[in-house]
Structure 1
Amino acid sequence: MNAVDATDREAQADNGVAASLLTIILDTNPHAWALLGDTLPLSKIVANLLVFINAHLAINNANKVAVVASHTQKAQWLYPSPHITDSQTNGHDVAMTDTAPGPPEDPNKYRPFAQIEHTLTTNLRNLISSTDPTDLINSPSTMTAGALTMALAHISKTALSTPTTTGGTTFNPSTGTSAFTTTDQTTSAPQGLTSRILIVSVSGDLSSQYIPMMNAIFAAQRLRCPIDILKLAGDTVFLQQAADATGGIYLNLSPGPASAPDPSSDTGSKSAGILQYLLSAFLPDPTARQHLYLPGQTTAVDFRAACFCHRRIVDIGFVCSICLSIFCEPLGEEGACLTCGTELGVGEYGKKPVVVRRKKKKRLPGEMGREGTPASGAGTPAYSG
């Protein structure tokens, strides 16, 4: 038929809208959700995320989605479900499946949407029910760095296994880019899989995960994968840096310390618009964002770091000139770096400055006196008794 109608069907079949992979990291820290109370329950966030996921899948039938739970002591997949067998647990990758268990039959619901909803809610329910109260006492924080690492690994594997919209496109995992040559031997823009990560965070400080968080941020930057942040509560410095470094969107819906002293008052007023924030700010993929004015906070990024000795967030610290480790205070008398062992010299830091006493100027004859009268040049007469 190509010779009859003078069309190149093979080239047209490869040209289409590029598929998009959306990976959502949901913070399921029970401590943080308990502080929010009834104003913003976890069930409401999950319901809004399901609508957001359905909208993402409805835009393009080639779009994909993955959901990771960032819990107190581990990060676990919510969708797709990991199918673990005896032969896959000895140092090999875990196969991901989304076929079982099946959702209940509902003729009024689109089956792919029902499959995602059933799998996600079932795995989330099992995760919460299997949480031991002793784990909450020992680890009150959330494993955001581990969940981000799992998401990046899944994105890299999916990009390698997903065919692109042009037959000659190849994905380079070392640089995170794609390249192809057209039929007329000219280069064109890559049309491979576009990916992004959305972190829904409610926890506070993550200073104990500074090093793995920075490594994950640099890996996402290398893969050209933007990290979007929806901050519902708490204040996390490193998530703001992640959005700024990767070109993502950072929306902070948590109440400010001065405007709303009660953490649940301001958050409750914004909880009704969570779905609106998701659809208007985070639904466009990286390709569509090139033609849009993106919302979020683009200024006043907090670039503070955490020290390597006490995991404190510091404004001014001591940096090792060899390994660039940061310390919040001098390293004692030896002055050896805790990371590489290099002896560091802080010079005369902490030494009190030497204060030179100002010399008293001698008064010369003829200068003005204290009362403004000229000083007399005559001597004091001697007393004669």
Structure 2
Amino acid sequence: MNHIDASEHYDESAFTGQTPSLLTIIIDTNPRAWAALNDTLPISKAIANILVFVNAHLAFGNDNQVAVLAAHTNRAVWLYPKSPNPDSVAGPDSQDVEMTGVDGRPSHPELGTSANKYPQFAQIETSILTSLRSLIDNTTTFDLKPTTLISGALTIALSYIHKTSLAFEPSKTSKDPANPTTAPSATLAAPTLHARILVLSVSDSEPAQYIPTMNAVFAASHARIHLDTISLHGMPTFLQQAAFITGGTFLSAASNPRGLLSFLMFGFLADAEARRSLITPTQDSVDFRAACFCHRNVVDTGFVCSICLSIFCEVPENAECLTCGTKLALGSYGAKPAVIPRKKKKKKRINGINGREETGSATGTPVPA
């Protein structure tokens, strides 16, 4: 039509593509925690619900991406995409073992050949199930610890998000093409990738991981990456603080773990851009307790170094900070306050007669007959 009447009917600059969204999911794969939830929500059903949630996220846009990590008791393992160096992450045989059945055929065949499944959905499902099965088979009795390496998984997720965001950034061009030494333009552009992290927690926060966890949380806050958390058991204190600091969403599904899919679809499907137009769930109260640097105990009150802000549950030896070595001046801490008796106010004399100080009246308060 534009060529027929020589007029502009459409403004191509007004039509812009959708900003890609990267969803990084961290699954708490603590064997002890999942054993306690086996009667209510087995891990197989939880993974099935997560796969439905992942497919819904990818269906929102062709450019949407997803990454899935497993936070185990002693390591963090990539479930999708597979780690380029599996030997250093999950052991020498964790990613290269071919899963075979009784008849010698692979127990998880390539689902991408099925005509009833979208190839990308089938590829992600195959990778997650295969990697998770390999992680479970390589877990020994020495790995059955009550703690979960959430801090390591958060660090790997932030590194992957940063690497992916660099691929979406536009190429930097110099001001003078003839002079390659000219500094590139430093103009600020709109975000090219919306990234967020979702943690599926089934265990409590470990006080020994307070420092690395909060370092990762503040790094995510600086990068404007929302950190969401859904808890199926217990109350992860540090992840609750992480959702508050980064502007994410924290939901506790401990009362109804079977409704995991409903929590995921209605509470975490919207990305950072869509949440601006929605009313997201909020926390009634946030547990801001911290872990001390000396004994790794969660404390309500403690001693804080004025130089490095280290927290101690009791006064360190010789009153020296264990982190920076600064001499701590406690002053008169612990001294009982001195009780000073209140001075009696003298009544003013008006015309030689004692009167009340407040009103200045010479007559006293009338007494009822």
- TM-score under structure 2 normalisation? 0.77
Q: Distance in 2 between matches of 1:252 and 1:85?
A: 33
The equivalent residue for 2:160 is 154
The equivalent residue for 2:313 is 328
The reply to whether residue 276 of structure 1 matches residue 254 of structure 2 is no
Query: In the alignment, residue 270 of structure 2 is paired with which amino acid?
Result: P
For residue 290 of structure 1, give the secondary structure of its aligned residue in structure 2. helix
Q: CA deviation at 1:343?
A: 1.3
Q: CA deviation at 1:140?
A: 2.3
Identity, % of aligned positions? 51
Q: Any conservation in 2 of the 1:20–1:194 contact (CA below 8 Å)? A: yes
The equivalent residue for 2:330 is 346
1:273 and 1:159, CA in 2 relative to 1: closer, same or farther beyond 3 A?
same
The equivalent residue for 1:123 is 131
1:178 and 1:84, CA in 2 relative to 1: closer, same or farther beyond 3 A?
farther
The equivalent residue for 1:238 is 238
- TM-score under structure 1 normalisation? 0.74
Q: Any conservation in 1 of the 2:196–2:272 contact (CA below 8 Å)? A: yes
Q: Any conservation in 2 of the 1:102–1:115 contact (CA below 8 Å)? A: no
Q: Distance in 2 between matches of 1:36 and 1:240?
A: 21
Structure 2 residue ranges without an equivalent (≥5): 90-107, 174-185, 341-369
Q: Distance in 1 between matches of 2:292 and 2:187?
A: 37
Q: CA deviation at 1:2?
A: 8.5
Q: Distance in 2 between matches of 1:70 and 1:178?
A: 38
1:178 and 1:10, CA in 2 relative to 1: closer, same or farther beyond 3 A?
farther
Structure 1 residue ranges without an equivalent (≥5): 90-100, 170-176, 181-189, 255-265, 357-385
The reply to whether residue 135 of structure 1 matches residue 119 of structure 2 is no
Q: Distance in 2 between matches of 1:246 and 1:112?
A: 31
Q: Distance in 1 between matches of 2:24 and 2:8?
A: 38
Q: Distance in 2 between matches of 1:163 and 1:216?
A: 23
Query: In the alignment, residue 243 of structure 2 is paired with which amino acid?
Result: A
Q: CA deviation at 1:36?
A: 1.6
1:284 and 1:355, CA in 2 relative to 1: closer, same or farther beyond 3 A?
closer
Q: Distance in 1 between matches of 2:53 and 2:226?
A: 18
The reply to whether residue 208 of structure 1 matches residue 208 of structure 2 is yes
The runs of at least 4 consecutive aligned structure 1 residues that moved more than 3 Å come to: 1-14, 348-356
The equivalent residue for 2:361 is none
Query: In the alignment, residue 286 of structure 2 is paired with which amino acid?
Result: V
Q: CA RMSD in A?
A: 3.1
Q: CA deviation at 1:135?
A: 2.1
The reply to whether residue 294 of structure 1 matches residue 280 of structure 2 is yes
Q: Distance in 2 between matches of 1:352 and 1:282?
A: 52
1:85 and 1:341, CA in 2 relative to 1: closer, same or farther beyond 3 A?
closer
Q: Distance in 1 between matches of 2:224 and 2:26?
A: 18
Q: CA deviation at 1:273?
A: 1.8
1:12 and 1:212, CA in 2 relative to 1: closer, same or farther beyond 3 A?
same
Q: CA deviation at 1:253?
A: 1.6
Q: Any conservation in 2 of the 1:178–1:192 contact (CA below 8 Å)? A: no
Q: Distance in 2 between matches of 1:83 and 1:236?
A: 31
Q: CA deviation at 1:11?
A: 5.5
1:295-310 to 2 correspondences below 5 Å: 295-297=281-283, 299-310=284-295
Q: Distance in 1 between matches of 2:7 and 2:297?
A: 68
Q: Distance in 2 between matches of 1:327 and 1:78?
A: 38
Q: CA deviation at 1:221?
A: 0.5
The reply to whether residue 106 of structure 1 matches residue 114 of structure 2 is yes
Q: How many residues align?
A: 309
The equivalent residue for 1:366 is none
Which deviations, in whole Å up to 9, do the C-alpha atoms of 1:192-226 show, x marking residues without a partner? 11011000000113211111111111110011110
Q: Distance in 2 between matches of 1:85 and 1:314?
A: 38
For residue 286 of structure 1, give the secondary structure of its aligned residue in structure 2. coil
Query: In the alignment, residue 313 of structure 1 is paired with which amino acid?
Result: V
Query: In the alignment, residue 253 of structure 1 is paired with which amino acid?
Result: A
Which deviations, in whole Å up to 9, do the C-alpha atoms of 1:156-204 show, x marking residues without a partner? 110000256xx999xxxxxxx9933xxxxxxxxx251101100000011
1:275 and 1:178, CA in 2 relative to 1: closer, same or farther beyond 3 A?
farther
